[in-house]
Amino acid sequence: MDALAVTRYGVFVANQSGNLVHVGMGLAGRDPLWLASACSIGAFGLGAGVAFGVRRTCDPGHRPDPAVAGFCLALAALLLWAVVGAALDRGAPGLDRRAVLAAAGAFFMGCLGGLFARTAGIATTITYQSGTVTKIGTRVVAWITGRGEARRKASQGVLLGLLGIGGYVSGSFVGALVGIGPMLTFALAAAVLVALMLTLRSLRRRR
């Protein structure tokens, strides 16, 4: 999604560290798209906050299930972005349209990031890869020096971190290839989200 956004709008929708740099450059008069970056930052935070609120209001083991509710929220946010994209992403969008498009995309990514805040009981980020690399490093050391359960937990964290980085890189590759057709990207993302939700429900039923 970042690859799509950078290709189409010139700003990130997930990499908010990069957007903060763009805002600073814009305030120095070096980046004309800094306002779109600022809108992306605000919308990303809002999406993460909404995702956190949804999970907090859903009790585990009751309906609606927190994970399923989070998936539905992320899917709805993705569809909203697709609608906004279909309406505004035509030709060379001006700064105002770029700002709205970036905000819609960042809201979705914020919801998605909030949904995956914890995986398998371990803090896992899917948008903040600097943090992921940091955690991989600390968990590698913990795996080397640890014993028993601590070592097992550290190895699991390393694998999850590597999975996150691999997914981020491969996603950028796919996004760059299909960036010329945004609706295809939205459709692929929606299909992946639905597949994940159905898989999660199937695994939980087996338990």
pLDDT digits (tens, 9 = 90+) for 97-117: 999 999 999 999 999 888 777
- Identity (one letter) of the amino acid at 68? V
Query: What are the angstrom distances between the C-alpha of 121 and each of 10, 17, 68, 111, 156?
Result: 36, 26, 17, 19, 10
Is residue 120 over pLDDT 60? no
pLDDT tens digits along 8-47:
899 999 999 899 999 999 999 999 999 999 999 999 999 9
Output the CA–CA distances (angstroms, integers) from residue 133 to 51, 117, 120, in the order listed.
24, 15, 18
Cα separation values, 122 from 55, 135, 183, 200, Å:
16, 11, 33, 17
3-class state of residue 91 by DSSP: coil
Task: Supply the pTM of this predicted model.
Answer: 0.78
**Cα 14 from Cα 16, distance rounded (Å):** 6
**What does the block give as tokens for 75?**
């899917």
